[in-house]
Structure 1
C-alpha cells in the first residue's frame, strides 16, 4: 500500500530557550522536548496504532499532525504534500480527530442534528436541501437511532456521545481518522462496540486509521501495525503480531506484562485475534 501520511524525523518542543539575561542570572527554563525525532508511515487504507504510557508523546505527535502543535524540526506529509500549520479547507477536512472525552467537544446547547447540520453547512459538504438526509445517513453509519438526532449531549450515554463524535468527524468526509484514546473513558462492552465500528468504517468507507492508546488490546484488535513510544521516541515498530508476540525492546515487554489478564491467566494482548472477554 502507498503511504498516505508520512511523519519524518519530527520533533516537537514546548517553551523557548532562556533569553540572554535569563542565562546570566541562572533563571529561565529550557524547552521541553515532547516528541523526539519520530518517523512513522501510515499506508493508505491501513490502520496504525501508537501505544505508550501517559506522557510518552503519542497525543502530542498527533496534535502536530492535526496542525495543533508546531513542529520544531522534521516534516509531516499528507498524500505526498508537506503539511504546515496553516492549511487549506480541503486538507483540514481530510484529517479528522476523535478525542478521548466527547463530552468536552460537543456543544451542550445543541442537539445532535444541529451539531452535524452546522458542520455540513459551514463546510458546504452537501446542498442545504440534503442536510437532513445526510444527518440521518451519518447517524445510521455509526449505528445510532434517528431518535438521537433530537437529543442533547447530557441525554446521551458515553458510548452514544463517542459515536456522535465519530459521526461529526465523518461529516467532513475525511481520508484519515485519528482516534486519540477514543475508548478509554468507556466500559469494556461499549469499548468493544466502538472498536467494531472503527474497524467497520475502515472496511466499508476506506478510511485510514491512526489509533492512539495505552491499551495494547485495542491496538491488536483494530490495527495492522504498531509503534511503541517512550519519552517522546519510537522504541519499536512493526506489524502488531510481531511487535506483541516477540517484542525487541524491554519497554514493549513491560507494557505487555502490565496488560490485563483473562481469568485463565492469558493476557489480552497475545490472545488469538485480540478477542475481548
Structure 2
C-alpha cells in the first residue's frame, strides 16, 4: 500500500507567543491508502486537533500535510474537501433540524454535483441502503431519529461526497453499547465495500482493537507509540500505552469478540 496521508513534523499551538499552548508537538504520521488507523489517548492529547489540522480547520505553526503526495496549503480546494470527510461525536449538532434526511442528502449531492440532477433521488436511496436505514427515514427530521440513526445519517452524508478518507471523531461515544456495535460493524463494512481509508479518534481501546489495523497512541500532543494493533496491544513498549490498556474498563466476559 502507498501513503494516502502524510503528516510530517506538524506542530499546532494556540494563544499568544508567551502563553501559547502546544496542542500538537512535532507529530509525524503516515496513513496508508485503504487502511484503518486508530488514534487513542486521553482528552487533551491532541488527537482531534491533529485531524482538524489535516482538514484545514487548524493552521500548523510548523510541518506539512500531504494528501495523495501533494502538499496541502492553508486552504483546501473543493476536490480535497470532498475527498476528506469527518463524522463527529454528536450528529445531532451537525444535522439541520429543519431539513428531512432526504433533503439533507440531496443538498450535498446537488451542491457538489456528485451525480446528474436526474440521479439525485435515486442516489439518496442508495446512500440510505448503504448505511442500512429504511426508505421511510427519507421523510424524517432529526428530532424523530434515534442516536444510532442520526449517526448513520451523518455517515451517509459524508459518503455522499465519495471521500477517499473518512475520519470518525469519537463517532460512537455518545451511543449505548448495542448501538455502538452496529455502527462499528457498519464502518467495517463500508471500509470493505468502498475501499475508503478510515481514521478513528477514540478513547475506546476495544473500538480500535476491533476496527483498526494500526494504533497510534498520543500524549501531551506527541505520538508516544504506534504500530500494528495486535502487536501494540499484546506488548506495548511505552509505559503510558500499558497504563491505558490496564485502565480500560472491562465488563465481565468482555473480549474483542464482545465488541462484534
- Whether TM exceeds 0.5 here: the answer is yes
**SS, match of residue 193 in structure 1:** helix
Whole-angstrom CA distance in 2 between matches of 1:85 and 1:176: 19
1:122 partnered with 2:111:
yes
Instruction: Point out where structure 1 has 5 or more consecutive residues left out of the alignment.
Output: 19-29
The RMSD of aligned alpha carbons is 1.1
Structure 1 segment 101-112 matched on structure 2, within 5 A:
101-112=90-101
What CA deviation, in whole Å up to 9, does each residue of 1:77-101 have, x standing for no partner?
A: 1010112231211111000000000
Instruction: Point out where structure 2 has 5 or more consecutive residues left out of the alignment.
Output: none
Whole-angstrom CA distance in 2 between matches of 1:147 and 1:130: 19
Note the C-alpha offset of 1:275: 3.4
What CA deviation, in whole Å up to 9, does each residue of 1:143-200 have, x standing for no partner?
A: 0001000000000000000000000000000000000000000000000110011111
Whole-angstrom CA distance in 1 between matches of 2:187 and 2:89: 14
Whole-angstrom CA distance in 1 between matches of 2:257 and 2:219: 23
Whole-angstrom CA distance in 1 between matches of 2:194 and 2:74: 27
Look up the match of 1:13.
Answer: 13
Whole-angstrom CA distance in 1 between matches of 2:38 and 2:160: 23
Q: Which has the larger radius of gyration?
A: 1
**How many residues end up aligned between the 2 structures?**
260
What CA deviation, in whole Å up to 9, does each residue of 1:197-237 have, x standing for no partner?
A: 11111100000000000100000100000000001000000
Q: TM-score, normalised by structure 2?
A: 0.98
Look up the match of 2:47.
Answer: 58
Moved over 6 A (4+): none
Q: TM-score, normalised by structure 1?
A: 0.92
Whole-angstrom CA distance in 1 between matches of 2:259 and 2:160: 29
Whole-angstrom CA distance in 1 between matches of 2:191 and 2:115: 22
